[in-house]
Structure 1
Amino acid sequence: MTALTLRNVWKEYGDQIVIENLSLDIAPRSFVALVGPSGCGKTTLLRLLLGQERATRGTIMLDGAALPDEPGPDRGVVYQRYSVFPHLTVLGNVMLGPELQSARVVGRSFGAARRHLNEAARQMIADVGLAGSEDKYPAQLSGGMQQRLALAQALMMKPRVLLLDEPFGALDPGIRTDIHHLMKRLWDERPMTVVMVTHDLREAFTLGTRVVALGRKRNRPEEADRYGASITNDIDIWPPRVAGARTLFNTEYALGWDDPTVQAVTSGRPDQPPET
């Protein structure tokens, strides 16, 4: 079954159309990278998938059912700016979501339930490479460590879909590479579908199983300020990458700017896999 299905989706704000007649199928366990110029609707599309916005027209379904109107634990999100609570420790940040979900009245679990949650949170903190930082506050962490914490927060809720809104854009190149390796491993180990917005084509082709480019197809001046973006390229990475399998995804795999698949996005040509 398709994890996410979008059919003839439009998003309008007054007279401005941001997304125009967009249809897309996203399969379970895929890692879809959304690319395109600024203002082409990438973040708006992510907000539609999260439930923060509602489509003006069209339908969005999750596993064959209508997408809920509000964000829920089935969809996690990580933003470029670290979405962590500065007044809570690393451990407190990671435990907060499950506690609020399981103890809605008091917002805190007790007894055996709290011990089990504490153990699970510590394991998640170790999984993202922050073991030993449980009692630190976000201000005591580097940018890369804060983004690891944001990932732990989101993954602690066991989302079926993880949404990433340029989560690594503010990181230094070396730290960014480390986070890329972490993201690959987390996606490989957990049963989730990932949709990531990025301006970095190299990042898109390095992490994704599929790269979807958005852009405005109407070029006449009188249409530019009125009509929105749709899909201009949809490229499956070649060779294929499959979560949980020993593929090129689990090795160093960086595309050069002269690679045919990269050129397909930058020049607007249809997808052509590299010759072998």
Structure 2
Amino acid sequence: MDNSNTPIIEAKNVWKEYGDHVVLERLNLKVMQGDFISILGTSGCGKSTFLNMLLGTQAPSRGELLLDGKPLSSEPGPERGIVFQKYSVFPHMTALQNVMVADEFEMSKVLGKVWGSSKGELKDRAMAQLERLGLTQAANKYPAEMSGGMQQRLAIAQALMKKPRILLLDEPFGALDPGIRKDMHVLINDIWQEQNLTIFMITHDLHEGFKLGSRLWVFDKPRFDPQEPDRYGSQVTFDIPLNASGQEDIIASLQAKEQKEVA
């Protein structure tokens, strides 16, 4: 963990509104380098909106979102990588080409064409990423020839290629079978520890949320007006260190709330 007193991410009174629809309100949060935040909440509570603001594809309506104490860029940057639930890889490219493509594009803007030693160095780095993710044998395969778990590992290799400091995971394991999902939990935990990444992971699985990471956030509306449901937005109503005692009681409380909402 970074010993700096400056949070890597800080939200200062952040709101997100679409016209009269308030999605998020009064977010005041600090995240230190190396934190792994698991994020829970019902559908439509603003989890993905918050992740998109961290990525830079959306901006706060009010307040400040800071990276290292400075306003977060309004565009995605190399310090932030993202993995979605649906395998966000290019179907017409091999695994190796998928991992190389972003860097190849950036280099081509400077060099005009990537070839020779530059191309070789890029290929070596891409192969090292595939090896770390257990995909060496799949380097020349297309996504359609790969299992769901392999495609998701490929998406993670893509996201890590630029050596981001922050990794954003939007329900990355939701479409995977339980056995593969378990393996992915081990993999992402190992990567987090090895690279000292700061991770934000959205999940709908309570036990996954409590199993992975160092902190758990629950997004919910502390205020609700049935006559005007869009009047109030969600906040982080729980911020729980994952080594805290009493987790089973918290899980039971959240499960009861979830069942009540479904009913």
Is TM > 0.5 for Structure 1 vs Structure 2? Answer: yes
TM-score between both structures, scaled by the size of structure 2: 0.91
2:225 pairs with 1:259: no
Alpha carbons of 1:117 and 1:31: their partners in 2 closer, same or farther (altered >3 Å)? same
Paired residue type of 2:191: L
2:150 pairs with 1:127: no
Q: Distance in 1 between matches of 2:218 and 2:244?
A: 19
SS of 1:58's partner is strand
Paired residue type of 1:209: S
Aligned to 2:92: 87
Aligned residue among 37, 40, 44 for 2:45: 40
Aligned to 1:143: 148
Q: Distance in 2 between matches of 1:264 and 1:185?
A: 30
Q: Distance in 2 between matches of 1:108 and 1:124?
A: 23
Equivalent residues of 1:35, 1:213 under 8 A apart: yes
Equivalent residues of 2:129, 2:161 under 8 A apart: yes
Question: Which moves more between the two structures, 222-231 or 127-136?
Answer: 222-231
Aligned residue among 68, 72, 75 for 1:70: 75
Percent of matched pairs sharing the same residue: 47
Paired residue type of 2:136: A
Deviation at 1:105, TM superposition (A): 5.3
Paired residue type of 1:19: L
2:57 pairs with 1:52: yes
Equivalent residues of 1:99, 1:107 under 8 A apart: no
2:129 pairs with 1:104: no
Give 1 or 2: higher helix fraction: 2
Residue-by-residue CA offset, 1:96-128 (whole Å, 9 max, x unaligned): 111122222577522111111111111100101
Aligned residue among 239, 244, 247 for 1:234: 239
Q: Distance in 2 between matches of 1:214 and 1:227?
A: 13
Aligned to 2:160: 155
Alpha carbons of 1:174 and 1:101: their partners in 2 closer, same or farther (altered >3 Å)? same
Aligned to 1:274: none
5+ residue gaps, structure 2, are 1-5, 258-263
Aligned to 1:247: none
Aligned to 1:250: none
Aligned to 2:218: 213
CA RMSD of aligned residues (A): 1.9
Aligned to 2:208: 203
Paired residue type of 2:233: G
Alpha carbons of 1:125 and 1:200: their partners in 2 closer, same or farther (altered >3 Å)? same
SS of 2:137's partner is coil
SS of 1:221's partner is coil
2:18 pairs with 1:29: no
SS of 2:117's partner is helix
Aligned to 1:248: none
Paired residue type of 2:63: G
Residue-by-residue CA offset, 1:121-164 (whole Å, 9 max, x unaligned): 11100101111110000000000000000000000011111000
SS of 2:139's partner is coil
Residue-by-residue CA offset, 1:211-244 (whole Å, 9 max, x unaligned): 000001113312423211111111011169xxxx
Q: How many residues align?
A: 252
Paired residue type of 1:156: M
TM-score between both structures, scaled by the size of structure 1: 0.87
Question: Which moves more between the two structures, 65-74 or 214-223?
Answer: 214-223
Q: Distance in 1 between matches of 2:66 and 2:212?
A: 25
Q: Distance in 1 between matches of 2:41 and 2:11?
A: 18
Q: Distance in 2 between matches of 1:161 and 1:199?
A: 21
For 1:177-192, what aligned pairs fall within 5 Å after superposition? 177-192=182-197
